[in-house]
Amino acid sequence: MNKIALLLFWLCGPQAIAGITYQKNKAQDKPTIVEETASSIDKATNTGDINKVTARLRIEGASFRPFNLCLADSEVEGSATQLQRKTAQDIHQIIERDLKIVHGFNFVTHQGPKSSGDLFALMKQKGAEGVTTIRLKFRNDLIDATIDHKNLISGKRSIKSFGASVSGQRRLSHLLAQSIYEEYIGPESIFLLQIAAVRRDPSGSQIVLFDFDGFNETVITQGPWQKTSPIFSPEGKSIIYTVITSQGHGIVEQDIGSKHMQFRTRKPGLNLDARVIPDNSGMLMTLSFEGNPNIYRATRTGTILGKVSQGLGMNLSPSVSPDGKQMAFVSTRAGTPQIYVQLLGGNSPATRLTHQGKYNQTPQFSPDGRYVAFTGRDERNVFDIFLLELTSHRVSRITENQGRNQEPFFTPSGRFVYFTSEREGKSKPDLFIATLNGDHQFRLTDASARSTTLGYISPVVRPKAF
């Protein structure tokens, strides 16, 4: 028995030890997720799965730069007189200036005529991204203009035609400039809009109307009274402004193109800053017939409905938001003039927007209601244009170190701000335009060049083209 036990032990002992070792090795060798892998492949190869997957990429950080444009010299079809050639040259210059005002283009120069194919190849070589050529045809006192845009990057070509009388060459030029801008950058209505401003003369002041570029100045008011704080009606057909007569202030409305005006208010004390509510349902204005200047609501014809601002300190310069639900205004309730915002209707409390600077004034809502531009006096006692974002209350600067800048007013697209500035050693206020980031600022008028003018103030933009 013992021998049998010894024999069994002899035979089985080592194998048993080796067997355990083998099992361990075998366990390590064996792929542990074979089953899972196989089923995964099965699912992955299912076409339904792959089609449900959508890849997404996020790309941040663009290159901000102007579009490289070759604006070829305007060509005149047929045999042109010297006057017609001069007109073609003038149109070209107006277009180029228009595009410089709105910025967005870097001009790649082109000298001399060339066939389309050669021109495109040459300009592409020079770095141009687009080539625009204009052909003019004169028929008696009419001009037919054909504008040909060739996008050298996309290869897209578009040709448009415009017509105008010779006397309407400025408008034709603006139309052509707009066509170029919209072709390469995007929609923009500014080119056909007009601006109004108060022109201060030694003998008084008048309201004048300009093209968007500061040219084509036309006086639209008359009489010896001082005029101030103009604003267009929402439909753009009339202009509302304050007159300062020997008997006091009054707010009047005048149809553009007509010399006839109608008084809307004639209260004792200040009658200022009339602002029409966008749906044309009424007006806000600053009146002081009860003592301190306050903001009142009135009907469109001037019947006072009641006080809107709370009677703390002075409240003035209202600007109505595009939705007509709130107003931004200036109040001295905290001791210094600051910008506040308040809901219209009910007795809503006002919220203070500006906390920096001791003198902030002339607030203006942007057309999208996201910003309020205002004039602020900084720590160096210099007036500049600032931009306040309503959601974050973040304030950025549009002008800096360029003289005295005041009275911002947004264009309908909200991309540009008109304002007045005394800069470049000139003491008379002039009209300027700037992009919201302040990178680009452009002088539109030069009052110093005219001895009969003391300057331009209070620019406002006509909301529609006429």
Q: Smallest distance from the beta carbon of 8 to other proteins, in angstroms? A: 11
| Candidate segments 22-30, 233-241, 266-274, 300-308, binder of other proteins by CB under 8 A | 22-30
> Based on CB atoms, which residue is closest to other proteins, 14 or 335?
14
18 is an interface residue for other proteins by CB under 8 A: yes
Contact 407, 420 (CB under 8 A): yes
> What amino acid is encoded at 132 in this protein?
T
Torsion angle, CA of 182/186/192/198, rounded to 10 degrees?
Answer: -140
Please identify which residue in 226, 351, 435, 448 interacts with other proteins, judged by CB under 8 A.
435
Q: Give strand ranges (E) for 212-255.
A: 218-219, 226-232, 238-245, 248-255
- Which of 150, 174, 199, 415 touches other proteins (CB under 8 A)? 415
Alpha-carbon gap, residue 289 to 259, rounded angstroms: 29
CA 103 to chain centre: 12
4 binds other proteins (CB under 8 A): no
State which of positions 349-388 bind other proteins (CB under 8 A): 371, 387
The C-alpha angle with vertex 385 and arms to 447 and 450, in degrees rounded to 5, equals 0
Nearer to other proteins, 68 or 221 (CB): 68
Shortest approach of other proteins to residue 26 CB, angstroms?
11
Residue 439 as a binder of other proteins (CB under 8 A): the answer is yes
Instruction: Confirm or reject binding of residue 13 to other proteins (CB under 8 A).
Output: yes
Tokens 């102007």 found at: 66
- Given candidates 23, 218, 245, 437, which one binds other proteins under the rule CB under 8 A? 437
Judged by CB under 8 A, the residue of 186, 248, 257, 345 near other proteins is 186
Distance CA(106)–CA(64), nearest Å, equals 12
- Residue nearer to other proteins on the CB measure, 152 or 243: 152
26 binds other proteins (CB under 8 A): no
Cα–Cα distance between 394 and 378 in angstroms, integer?
16
Side chain identity at 2, as an amino acid letter?
N
Q: How far is the CB of 385 from other proteins (least distance, A)?
A: 13
What are the tokens at 456?
């331009």
Residue 33 sits in the site that holds other proteins (CB under 8 A): yes
Q: Which of 155, 153, 115 is nearest to 133 (CA)?
A: 115
* Identity of residue 360: N
Dihedral, 269, 462, 89, 163 alpha carbons, nearest 10: -140
**Contact between 40 and other proteins per CB under 8 A:** yes
Query: Does residue 203 bind other proteins (CB under 8 A)?
Result: no
Give the span between the Cα atoms of 74 and 136, in whole angstroms: 7
First to last CA, the chain: 125
Smallest distance from the beta carbon of 318 to other proteins, in angstroms? 24
- Count the residues of the shown chain that bind other proteins, applying the rule CB under 8 A: 68
The answer to the question of residue 59 lying near other proteins (CB under 8 A) is: yes
- The reply to whether 9 sits near other proteins by the rule CB under 8 A is yes
Integer Cα distance of 38 and 153 in angstroms: 49
- Binding residues (CB under 8 A) for other proteins: these are 2-3, 6, 9-10, 13-14, 17-18, 21, 25, 28-31, 33-35, 37-45, 47, 49-67, 103-104, 151, 153-154, 185-187, 371, 387, 389, 394, 396, 414-415, 435-440
